[in-house]
Structure 1
């Protein structure tokens, strides 16, 4: 059974482990700090009780910034990332947010293609942003707000 649940600080080890086994983006200290940021929410996509993907986003005013989005390598290209992204978009629309923002390495062609499928458009570039010298593509998606 596939489900999505909110993840809290008690699950930092789980987040760090998934990160370490995939994109190795954050240290354990960075994970701790992420959970302390105001407006930050963490969701996981699960098969039974196994977390196979995580999305971290932060709400600021009427926008949300995706700070982290990953699906375990073994479960990619099976629709789990799309399931999690659709959940996130719906959640943001229900919060009446206007935009969803993220940045992705220009060299990460797979992720760039994934975000394009969800109508994220490139609105800027941070040159030589990543350690490997690649540029960060700044992306945004306009959201449809729900009328109350």
Structure 2
């Protein structure tokens, strides 16, 4: 069973390992995640299975707007509901905080992520040309909560 919980600093190496396992990972690494834990606007949740981190989501929320910055699940755990549970839990948290709009950017070639976000009501609102490695475009997406 997958359990969603508040991320703990003590799990930062596991969280960074999940991120590193993904070809589209933001590659914040341990240092980047430690910095997020210190950011008062950051919200980080983990997906745990048998006590091990299998996924995470990181969002920054200010006033009534949030930006989804990072979401990843271990490759062996994809298509098993962890990403959806993370998004559900984060959306509930954001609604309770009074957030009305969530934005994100995603590599347009990352079709599993694009499709997941569309399932959660995100719509493409723009593009950043050659944003990733000077080659691939970033889709800008927005969802209303």
TM over 0.5: yes
Cα drift, residue 69 of structure 1: 0.4
How do 1:57-96 and structure 2 match up within 5 A?
57-96=59-98
- CA deviations on 1:99-132 (whole Å, 9 max, x unpaired) are 1111100111111111111110011111111115
Cross-structure match for 2:140: 138
Say if 2:19 and 2:73, in contact at 8 Å, map to a contact too. Answer: no
Cross-structure match for 1:146: none
Indicate the SS of the match to 2:118.
helix
Unaligned 5+ runs, structure 1 = 144-148
Indicate the SS of the match to 1:129.
strand
Say if 2:58 and 2:71, in contact at 8 Å, map to a contact too. Answer: yes
Count, aligned residues: 143
Cα drift, residue 86 of structure 1: 1.1
What is the rounded CA distance, in whole Å, between the counterparts of 2:133 and 2:98 in structure 1? 35
1:38 aligns to 2:40 (yes or no): yes
What is the rounded CA distance, in whole Å, between the counterparts of 1:54 and 1:132 in structure 2? 27
1:8 aligns to 2:11 (yes or no): no
TM-score (norm: length of structure 2)? 0.90
Cross-structure match for 1:25: 26
What is the rounded CA distance, in whole Å, between the counterparts of 2:81 and 2:66 in structure 1? 23
Higher strand content, 1 or 2: 2
What is the rounded CA distance, in whole Å, between the counterparts of 1:126 and 1:37 in structure 2? 26
Q: Which runs of 4+ in 1 moved over 6 A?
A: none
Unaligned 5+ runs, structure 2 = none
Say if 2:47 and 2:86, in contact at 8 Å, map to a contact too. Answer: yes
Quote the RMSD (CA, aligned, Å).
1.5
How do 1:112-127 and structure 2 match up within 5 A?
112-127=114-129
Say if 2:128 and 2:137, in contact at 8 Å, map to a contact too. Answer: yes
TM-score (norm: length of structure 1)? 0.89
